Amino acid sequence: MTPSARIQATIELLDEIAGTPRPADAIVSAYFRARRFIGSHDRGDISVRLYAVLRHQARLDWWLERQNAVPAPRLRLLAWLALNDRLQLKKIAEICSGGKFAPKTLDDAERKVLRKLEGDTIEHPDMPEEVLAECPTQCLATLKEKFGKHFMCEMRAMQEPATLDLRINPLKTTREEILEEIRELGMKAELCSLSPWGIRVFERPSLNALPMLKNGLVEIQDEGSQLVALAVDAKPGERVVDFCAGAGGKTLAIAATMQNKGRIVACDVMAGRLKRSSERFRRAGLHNIEVKVLASERDPWVKKHKESFDRVLTDAPCSGTGTWRRNPDARWRELGPGLEALLKTQAEILDSAARLVKKGGRLIYATCSLLGDENEKQIEKFLSNHPEFTLAKCGLDGAEFLSLSPAKHSTDGFFAATMIKAAAKESETESPSQ
C-alpha cells in the first residue's frame, strides 16, 4: 500500500469506530479480515497510527477546539500528522491527493486548521490536567482520589500501548522452555515479575509467528488477569465455579492450577463465548472443565447447586477503566450499560454467586476497573448484607485487596477481593444420635 492508502484506511477505521457501537479491536479485526490483500506490514502501520490517534483524542480535540474546529475522525488524524509527525501543510496536501485509494483533497477549513497547527506539538502548557491525562470528566474525581499524587503518572502509563503477555500452560511446558523458544524466533522477551506463569514479549508479532499458541502451550493473557486467577487459589480435587467465564481465560488458568483434578464449571449468559472457550479448553488438554450457559445470574441451576463449591470466582461485568491501555476508545464511548446499571448488576451477580459457596469455602470478586464504586465499595456493601462472609487478604505483599495498575505494576488495572464463608458449626457436621 502507498502511504496515502494507509492514511485513507486509517480514516475509514476511525469513522467506523466513531459510528459503530462495537469495541475498536473488533472493528479493526473485521476490517482486515474483509481485506486480505492488506499485508502484515501495512496492517501494523495502520493499527499503530489508529490507536495513537485514539490514545490522544482529548489532546487532539483540545487543539481543534482551540482553532474553532469541530473534532471529527478525519480531522483528528490530519491534526495528528501535523502535531506528532510534524508534517507541513504541503506534505499533508500531497497525501490527501484525492487520487485512487488516497484521502480526498483538503477543503479550505482543513487547510486553515493545519496551517495554524504548523510548528506546534501534541501537548501545550495551557492544557488542563484532565486533557493531558486523557481522563473522562466523569472519572476524574474518583481516579484522583484513588491515586492521589500518582494520578498523572498512572494516567500517563494508561496512555501507553498494552504489553503482550503470555501465560504458559504448566501441564504442558515451563516458562523457561517457552522463553527460549520465543527468543529463538528472534523476539525479545522476559519472564513476568509477578506471575509465575507469565512471559512478556516486547514486540508486536503476528500471532501466526507464535506457534506455541496453536497447541495449547501458551495463551495470551495480561499478567494482571493471571494474578486474579492465582488469587482464586484453587487446589487439585476441589469443586470450582467461574461464574462469569466469558471466553474462558481465567477458567483455563484456574483449571491448570488444579492439575486437571477436581471439577470446574465455566458459567456465562453468553452461549457463543462459552462455545468458543470449549475449543481453548480442548487445545490446552484440560478435561476437568464443564460449560454451563445460564439464563441469568438467578438461573435455577444456582439454587440447585447451593453450597456445593469450594471456590466461586465472579469476574463481574464492569466499566473496564482498567483496560484503557488496550481499549483507548472505551474512555469516550459507552458501549454497554452505564455505571449505575453496572453497579446494580455487579451486586446482583455477587449476591447470587454467593449461594454456590459451601460453608468454609471462598468467594472471589474481581473486576478490570479502577473505580472504587465497582470495587471496595461493592465489597463493603456485600459484607454488610452477608455477615456469614469475612474478608481474607489476597493482595500483593499481604494487602487486603489485589489492586493492580499500569504505572505501579505494569499490568492492566485489576481488582480482586476474597471472602470466606463461615465454616459449618460442629452441630451441623455431627451425625444424628442413634
SS3 readout for 299-323? CHHHHHCCCCEEEEEEECCCCCHHH
Q: Residue 307: left (phi > 0), alpha (psi -120 to 50), or beta?
A: left
Contact of 366 with 316, CB cutoff 8 Å? yes
Q: Whose CA is closest to 172, among 251, 286, 291? A: 286
Could you count the other beta carbons within 10 Å of the beta carbon of residue 384? 8
Of 365, 415, 372, give the one whose Cα is nearest residue 389. Answer: 365
Helix axes 3-19, 40-55, angle to 10 degrees: 50
Is there a contact between 415 and 403 (Cβ–Cβ < 8 Å)? Answer: yes
Distance of CA 49 to the CA centre of its chain: 20
Can 368 be counted among the known catalytic residues?
Answer: yes
Q: At 165, list the grid cell.
A: 503477555
Residue with cell 523476539: 187
First vs last C-alpha separation in the chain: 85
What's the rounded Cα separation, in Å, for the pair 56 and 38? 25
Angle between helices 73-83 and 40-55 (to 10 degrees): 90
Question: What is the CA angle 189-190-194, rounded to 5?
Answer: 135
Cell numbers at 209, concatenated: 509467528
Pairing of strands 414-421, 402-404: antiparallel
In angstroms, the CA 284 to CA 416 distance is 25
Using only C-alpha atoms, what is the Rg of the chain?
24
Of 96, 192, 368, 394, the catalytic one is 368
Going by DSSP bridges, is the β-strand pair 414-421/164-168 parallel, antiparallel, or unpaired? unpaired
412-421 in b/e form (b: 16+ CB < 10 A) is bbbbbbbbbb
Compute φ and ψ for 239, nearest 5 degrees.
-105, 125
Q: Which residues are catalytic?
A: 368
